A and B are shown apart, each in its own frame.
Chain A
Amino acid sequence: MNIKKNRWNEPAASDITDYDVYLKRRDFLAGGAALALGSVSGLALAKEAPAIPSPTWTDLVSSNLSIDEKKTSFRDVTTYNNFYEFGTGKDSPARNAVGFPDNSQPWKIVVEGECDNPGSYGYDDFIKPYPLEERIYRMRCVEGWSMVIPWVGFSLSDVLKQAKPNSKAKFVEFTTLYDPDIMIKRNVLDWPYTEGLRIDEAMNPLTMLAVGLYGQELLGQNGAPIRLVVPWKYGFKSIKSIVGIRFVEEMPQSAWMKAGPTEYGFYSNVNPDVPHPRWSQSRERRIGELRKRKTLMFNGYADHVASLYEGMDLVKNF
């Protein structure tokens, strides 16, 4: 058999498991039958961690926006993910997004809306103009855990400037690919996943588009081939596998705002003083550490971004 490898030199999921079987297994799990058997079987399935591929880039410039904290292991960063399109378990994306995206199909990114220079780009053309750099950022999930991840990418503002937003462009809306053939079929969220930023948040130099981590191209579970990283906001704002960037005049409704308007606000800034009904938010567990840490205002990026919210009631604008 001719085993097709993807660019990370791993066989595609379809080569390991017959596609129908793969889908059935997921439906089986979703149906809850496997749950009755207990987590023993569920945990046993969780053991397929990706091998560490060789670095794609070796001479990356390290950004002065990087923090000096211990990085979360590559293994943890690539096996503990929220990417509901590939399943709702923390370990599901790593298992279900193997070989995503399919390199034989071009990845298109559309830039549109209130701007003078809209366009539709293939992935390679889209990133070509921008020099890549490594940025080590904190990542704080709304669920009360955090990581430190060395991203590879560039500031979103470089892309936005290129598109020349007009005076009506008050917000930027992002869209994730939704392909029911390879992604979850149930409406866990209102697909496709969308997120939004205010234009000044989007233009902040901290806000980046990432194409890699640990010097390697992103894996499917981390939002390949290109994703947003907004380190002072809860992780779900950092939308994955982007296919659309649109300038809009009105504040867009994100997928999570639609799912739980009282739980997830548009801003979703990391804020230890504004609790979520399910998670207190005053502390967090850094993955790989035993004791919890105090959560920092704006995830420790207050110096960079606090001015964006001057005079705003952050309890009301959660």
Chain B
Amino acid sequence: MSKFKTSVFIISLLPVSWLIYALFTHQLGANPIEAITRDLGDWAMRFLWLTLLITPLRWLTGWNQLMTIRRMLGLYVFFYAVLHVTMYLWLDQFFEWDEILKDIIKRPFITIGFFTFTALIPLVITSNNRMVKKLGGRRWKKLHRLTYAIAIATSVHFYMMVKQDKTEPLFYIALLVLLLGVRIYKYYQKQRLKLAPAS
């Protein structure tokens, strides 16, 4: 692993390390379980936004080494999402499956969260080189466009979870609009070039 990659790997572990430290030093307030669950969700979302930042950043800077960390960032999305969901299943619901099922059915933001998490699984399974080869680049790419849908669903999940002050979810939605917007812009630009008559 390159030095760059190793640094990113270690830095990405800082949020969870901080949470563990904060928990044992009683810095998470009166409701630590809620604080941890929400924070882990926040970090899953932030890493997802970061993976979506790689491609536009590469266009902008031509810094191709960025591609070497995209898969790792994607796996960190899953890492934080798994911890987030585990907190919910364990310390929020205590593995009472009938309650959890009711929750998934009756509370729309949890319904969306559940499907969002589930959608991450095929992407993780197909994340290694062998699977990329097996699927073929084009099919793999097509499958991994699911990331866009996951990001949109994540925003909705967050927006619906917040009770009244929507400032924070709107901030992340604005970032996502930007991240997806540049892709749409680029796509249409390409189309126009294709359509332009050869001179």
Contacts and interface: CB of A to CB of B under 8 A. Distances in A.
A39 B30 contact: no
Interface string B157-171: 000110111011011
Interface in A61-90: 75-76, 79-80, 84, 88, 90
B199 interface: no
Interface of chain A, helix or strand or loop or mixed? loop
B38 to A, nearest CB: 8
B26 to A, nearest CB: 10
A36 B171 CA distance: 9
Interface in B68-90: none
Contacts of B31: 80, 90, 145, 285, 287
B102 interface: yes
A10 interface: no
B138 interface: no
A43 B27 contact: yes
Interface string B22-45: 100001111101110001001100
A11 interface: no
A280 B164 contact: no
Contacts of A88: 164-165, 167
Interface string B98-109: 010011001111
A134 B46 CA distance: 47
B29 A35 contact: no
Contacts of B39: 39, 43
B181 interface: no
B160 to A, nearest CB: 7
B22 A43 contact: yes
B91 interface: yes
B122 interface: no
Contacts of A30: 167
A148 B128 CA distance: 52
B102 A280 contact: yes
A5 interface: no
A280 B35 contact: no
A88 B163 CA distance: 10
B171 A292 contact: no
Contacts of A44: 27
A21 interface: no
B103 A79 contact: no
A270 B23 CA distance: 31
Given A39-B42, A40-B18, A288 B30 contact: yes
B107 A90 contact: no
Contacts of B109: 278
A195 B167 CA distance: 24
Contact of B168 (A32, A46, A75, A292): A32
Interface of A: 30, 32, 35-36, 38-40, 43-44, 46-47, 75-76, 79-80, 84, 88, 90-91, 143, 145, 186, 188-189, 259-260, 275, 277-280, 282-283, 285, 287-288, 290-292
8 contacts: A39-B39, A43-B28, A47-B27, A76-B30, A90-B31, A277-B108, A279-B107, A291-B94
7 nearest CB pairs, A to B: A32-B171, A80-B30, A88-B165, A76-B30, A287-B30, A188-B165, A39-B39
